Amino acid sequence: MLRRLGSLCARSLGARGGARPAAGLRHLGRSPRRRASDAPRNQPPSSEVVARPVGVCSMMRLPLQASPQGLDAAFIGVPLDIGTSNRPGARFGPRRIREESVMLRTTNPSTGALPFQSLSVADLGDVNVNLYNLQDSCRLIREAYQKIVAAGCIPLTLGGDHTITYPILQAMAKKHGPVGLLHVDAHTDTADKALGEKVYHGTPFRRCVDEGLLDCKRVVQIGIRGSAMTLDPYRYSWSQGFRLVLAEDCWMKSLVPLMGEVRQQMGGKPVYISFDIDGLDPAYAPGTGTPEIAGLTPSQALEIIRGCQGLNVVGCDLVEVSPPYDPSDMS
């Protein structure tokens, strides 16, 4: 399941049948002659030609590239977990996601997506974070993503704990202004502080609101659940105009109708997708730091990602993957 989620955002950016560019790639400001999509495109190698254990451990065994220049989209790892409040280990997420991605192939027969026929994609490696200083790590992430976004490349991020979304959205807002947010998670991540600290994996979207990085009328949080310290734990999100979809409102039903409403709410303006793996029930994805029972199913996760097709996606992340808590790699 984790392998699919790590690449489905790239697939949602690709057009059905590869006939047209992704919605999120129509606004990069390049002239048609200079579009990265018009250049020769990277293709993940087929296991019929290159054995799966062979080669450098990049996402989908795509080429490693030092610069985002000439790319429509790129995978970037952010191996940071010093902002976590419970079980660490998400620093190993990017590497494990890449290892598991060898099973991903180039087309999706169910949706007709052929992303590598319409997009130029590579792996940019990892941001060199500071594991001894969370604030400095946020600076390093923000600066790295400003360069990626300025090059007209859409970042597809492998996390890392959810702290990383805050500096990424700082970079996004610098280029696009306040963005819409599709946030899949067990938690709202809108706390103000913990142990006196205002930046950790429970506060990213509170900090984003404080800095005007989000278009709050276009923020949707899906899969929220779990115990709390108050009977009104969602007051802040509601007060900002966020739409909350609790996990219990998703039980035993398809999320296709919900995603139709989300697409209408997001419109054609820039949207960022942040997918916390703990949005899924830990029966399916135990490899995470803050698991909560009674979450989303893998099929619902696919409905959410597939339901993003047509949105103006300017970036996405998959966060809180903690491989040490899933020895079977089931996540």
Q: Report yes or no: 219 and 242 within 8 Å, Cβ to Cβ.
A: yes
Is 189 labelled a binding residue? yes
Is 326 labelled a binding residue? no
Is 276 labelled a binding residue? yes
* Secondary structure (3-state) at 183: strand
Q: How many CB atoms lie within 10 A of CB 231?
A: 6
Across the beta sheet with 73-78, the strand order is: 121-126, 73-78, 154-159, 312-319, 270-276, 179-184, 214-224, 243-246
Is 123 labelled a binding residue? no
C-alpha span between 311 and 273 (Å, rounded): 10
Is 185 labelled a binding residue? yes
DSSP 321: B
Q: Report yes or no: 41 and 18 within 8 Å, Cβ to Cβ.
A: no
CA 56 to chain centroid, in Å, comes to 23
* Secondary structure (3-state) at 2: helix
C-alpha span between 160 and 70 (Å, rounded): 26
Q: Report yes or no: 36 and 70 within 8 Å, Cβ to Cβ.
A: yes
**267 conformational bin, left if phi > 0, alpha if psi -120 to 50, beta if neither:** left
Q: How many CB atoms lie within 10 A of CB 188?
A: 20
Q: Which residues are annotated as a binding site for Mn(2+)?
A: 162, 185, 187, 189, 276, 278
Binding-site residue numbers are 162, 185, 187, 189, 276, 278
